[in-house]
A and B are shown apart, each in its own frame.
Chain A
Amino acid sequence: MSLIATLARMEALREGRARPLATVRHRHLSERPMVFVPLTTAGEAGAPLGALFGTDREEPTLLVVPQPRDRDLRFAFLAQLAQGMLPYLEGYADDVDVEVRKGKDPETGEPVEVERELCRDAPQLLVPNGSGVRYVRLLGRSMRFRRTAEEAPDEPYPVPSRVPLLGRWMTHFGERALTPGSCLLVSMTDLLSRHWASGQSGLEDQHLGALLAWLDPPPGVHGSEAALRAETARDERGLLECPPAGPATDPAFDNKLLAPAITRYDAGLSGAERAVRDLVGSQLRPTWDHVWRGLDLLRELPPGDRVAARWEGDRWSYTGHRDRLRAGEPPQPKRDDAVTAAAKLVRRETDQVRLDAHEALDDPLVMAERRLAGEAFAGEVVAVEMAYSEGRSPRPRPLVSVSTHDRPHVEPGTRVFRRLAGKAQEAQVAAAEPGLVVVRLVNQMGRGRVPAEGTVPEPGDVVCLTAFEHDPRPAAPLPPPEETPWTHGGPPGEAAMGASAPDPHTAEDYL
């Protein structure tokens, strides 16, 4: 945590309510996101208990598994989930822009123009917290290798159609969520804690109810008190008034209410199913409302300038997955091959650098953190001295002196950048002493001997220079998987083929 963020948390603690960590919104928000609040059964891997989901705040769809250990009931749940979610997830697939790019003819190698479709918008899945994101991955994993009766007539336990497809979408969304700054699948706690500092620790921020209590405490109530209430207040039955935001349930709820209700359901008592349904719904609804409340708060922030550019990355990701599905590719393997793993890692690193740069450029408060860290500095131009490069056609290389309070970690020769008409103008530090940095501008000044109008700052101008690049350079290419070198085990062979084999079944499946 940066010192500025620490300070913000302390301010929040003293004031009793959250304090801003950003002046703009750094994540894309869909106009029509789908909120998904799942609950799972304690002690079971991927045995859902129920879920609330939908795009309409007033009318969520409630699905409940009255006996989570019953395979048929679980399949029915997944089928309904697929039915409810897939139209939304697939709904952006056909509205496309066509981009023309330069490419190579695959056979002749000649340069040709290649048309590529890019979906104009993409779905966005919102879950309450980080465990919700991981649960989407888990659900995806549990569904994508299942076989339907159409695919595999001999399958002893076929799943309803479309369930594997939902599994593949969830897997894709879950994987994309690991990319820094991506927005296809995001958790509300991450969104909120990115933009506001509560008066508690990051660990405690994982509790959506407590975090919201800091953001939006009841009048006259200190945030820490409101948060404590959210964490611990119990009703006369001993149940948490603000149930956990899932997917894990409150053990007291399990033991006191759910277990007896499920027992009654197992005994075939009338009204028992309804009772389980109401119970699960009662645990889900507060979280559902919280997610939407968080959304309201986020929507009050204006989006950062570069948010849309990053959302385009998500749209490409969505379009790419659409294409793989249409091409009939098999489900994502259980584990990545060497090249895919390396490619993902490198991509995520590049995206992290880009996100950090974008956020700083979009938001003075984030830039302030970088300035304090010595990675950027701002100040007033106090002198500009014209100078030129050596060589046959000298180019302008003006020396700009910036007076600053900041203490950047720069030394002569350090490359620094400033924003100029949507681009990054590069400069080199010529001298640095406390309070004054002299930089030599090296580009973006037009073609002539005289710098183009407005490309060189003037005395009195306030400038901000960063020691980080504004758009990271693309990483070096990786070989295609079939050319995986001997150092990494050679091309993935048979083993990788088996990687998408369905899971073994046992008669009783889950316990």
Chain B
Amino acid sequence: MTAPVGDPSAEAARVTEEILHDTLHSPRRGVVVDSPPGAGKSTLVVRAARELAAAGEKPMVVAQTNSQVDDLVKRLAKEDPRLPIGRLHGSDSPPDPALSELPSVVLSSSVGDLAGREVVIATAAKWAFVKDVPAWRHAIVDEAYQMRSDALLKVAGLFERALFVGDPGQLDPFTVVGADQWAGLSYDPSASAVVTLLAHNPELPQHRLPVSWRLPASAARLVSDAFYPYTPFRAGTGHEDRRLSFAAAGDGSAHDRVLDLAAESGWGLLELPERRTVRTDPEAVAAVATLVRRLLDRGGRTLSEKGTAALTADRIAVGTAHRDQAAAVRSALAGLGVAGVTVDTANRLQGQEYDVTVVLHPLSGRPDATAFHLETGRLCVLASRHRHACVVVSRAGVERLLDEHPSTEPVQLGVTVKFPDGWEANHAVLAHLNERRVRYRP
């Protein structure tokens, strides 16, 4: 893919204008926007909500999780403190207490109480219980690729038209029960809402936010090539615009060397000797914790278009594949006296942004690769949360693991093949990381 030329801000602004124009004026009932990591999805949602409200349209907003809804409410209230917002919530899932401090926000578990609000925001699950109300003229559906088709089916009757925004590269929705019998149907209930929507409405205008403002130039290309091969994007900043540096020089340890590599090139791989381990591989977990500790101890500083800042604990995240791994890292960090660093699984890190991330490779130490660990979206989430650098910790041998993974997947007729394949994407990322590898023997 050739890199697009021209000013990224101007390009992004042009696309945003087109999206807003289609949202307000398109004769079609929907607009679909693909947003790669950090391309300004939330900004777009907030902006669209305000413009629709300003046009007297009183939109409803659908998000997927309660925390996504709470975040949107906060952002919207901050951007426009006078906009009357309604936050609809479930009776046993109370919203973030911070919302009740916001004067422009009314909270209720009943949609009737929110009738006069300019914007009403709730999760898809909550909207699904709303009935016997006149349809909204406009809706905004956030994280639409993570929404399952059946969830959209439950709420689509509530609105006449909608703006669907989401990131196609993140984790797909799933089900724990068999859904094979509907594979290949345009409305397969276990598929993503956008897949169903476009299958039935191929004429809908589709846009793509072209610039990632989060990912540094060192990451945008790799993430774009590995995870968005047919819909490339670029970084909004140049190689010189972002800089990570440390006040203290490295002590020569493998940890410090990989941090220096990452500071310089945006990526680093700390490779432990090959071995089959449990998920909560103590050596790998300890290495992750030590890396975080060193990041803080060495007085990291970030320079970016936003200015310079100290690299503080809240700007660092650790990403894992499993919950028990996250728990192990948390307690290892606590053991090193580190507090305030976010440690979570890929599922929960979706949509979040940090300056530096430390990732425990999903395939590290495993006896085999499984569909779960190979899922493209998981690696994509983990590799695309950072503004400056990403350090991956892994046992050696992942490449062999990938090579030995049996590829005897069943094929369902009529199901569009999803690209990229997790297996290929893993190889691509690994190849890139291998050039920035520091071997470490505990």
Contacts and interface: CB of A to CB of B under 8 A. Distances in A.
Interface of A: 178, 180, 335-336, 338-339, 341-342, 344-346, 348-349, 352, 374, 409, 476-479, 483-490
A483 B157 contact: yes
29 contacts: A178-B178, A335-B182, A336-B181, A336-B185, A341-B150, A342-B154, A345-B189, A345-B190, A349-B177, A352-B177, A409-B327, A476-B128, A477-B129, A477-B131, A478-B154, A479-B153, A479-B157, A483-B157, A485-B156, A486-B156, A487-B152, A487-B153, A487-B193, A487-B196, A488-B196, A489-B186, A489-B187, A489-B200, A490-B200
A486 B155 CA distance: 11
A342 B149 contact: yes
Contacts of B196: 487-488
B128 to A, nearest CB: 3
What are the 8 closest A-B residue pairs judged by CB atoms, nearest first?
A: A476-B128, A485-B156, A342-B150, A338-B187, A342-B189, A348-B177, A489-B200, A487-B156
Contact of B156 (A335, A476, A488): A488
Contacts of B149: 342, 488
Nearest to A426: B92
Interface residues of B, number: 34
B129 to A, nearest CB: 5
B157 A485 contact: yes
Given A338-B187, A478-B154, A349 B201 contact: no
A339 B185 CA distance: 12
Nearest to B199: A489
A344 B175 CA distance: 12
A430 to B, nearest CB: 17
Contacts of A341: 150, 182, 185, 187-189
Given A335-B185, A338-B153, A345-B179, A476 B129 contact: yes
Which one of B153, B157, B176, B324 has the greatest number of beta carbons of chain A within 10 Å? B153
B362 interface: no
Contacts of A336: 181-182, 185
Which one of A344, A346, A479, A488 has the greatest number of beta carbons of chain B within 10 Å? A488
Given A349-B175, A488-B149, 16 more contacts: A336-B185, A341-B150, A341-B185, A342-B149, A342-B154, A342-B187, A374-B324, A409-B327, A476-B154, A477-B131, A479-B153, A487-B152, A487-B153, A487-B196, A488-B156, A488-B187
B176 A485 contact: no
A380 to B, nearest CB: 25
Nearest to A415: B92
A345 B150 CA distance: 8
A38 to B, nearest CB: 21
B125 interface: yes
A168 to B, nearest CB: 17
Which one of B128, B152, B187 has the greatest number of beta carbons of chain A within 10 Å? B187
Which one of B175, B177, B323, B327 has the greatest number of beta carbons of chain A within 10 Å? B177
A345 B175 CA distance: 9
Contacts of A338: 153, 187, 189
Contact of A180 (B29, B153, B177): B177
A424 to B, nearest CB: 13
Contacts of B201: 486-487
A70 B178 CA distance: 36
B197 interface: yes
A352 B131 CA distance: 27
Interface string B163-189: 000000000000111110110011111
Nearest to A356: B176
Contacts of B319: none
Nearest to A374: B324
Nearest to A485: B156
Nearest to A353: B176
A486 B153 contact: no
A88 to B, nearest CB: 26
A349 B178 CA distance: 9
A341 B180 CA distance: 11
B59 interface: no
B268 interface: no
Contacts of B327: 409
A486 B177 contact: no
Interface string B332-345: 00000000000000
Contacts of A346: 150, 189
A344 B201 CA distance: 24
Contacts of B181: 178, 336
Which one of A336, A342, A344 has the greatest number of beta carbons of chain B within 10 Å? A342
A485 B189 CA distance: 14
A484 B156 CA distance: 9
Contacts of A335: 182, 185
Contacts of A476: 125, 128-129, 154
A339 B153 contact: yes
A338 B193 CA distance: 12
Contacts of B193: 487
Nearest to A338: B187
A344 B153 CA distance: 13
A441 to B, nearest CB: 16
B347 to A, nearest CB: 14
Contact of A478 (B29, B153, B200): B153
A312 B207 CA distance: 50
B30 interface: yes
Nearest to B162: A487
A307 B293 CA distance: 53
B185 A486 contact: no
Contacts of A349: 175-177
Contacts of B189: 338, 341-342, 344-346
Contacts of A342: 149-150, 153-154, 187, 189
Which one of B188, B189, B190, B200 has the greatest number of beta carbons of chain A within 10 Å? B189
A89 B178 CA distance: 26
A345 B179 CA distance: 7
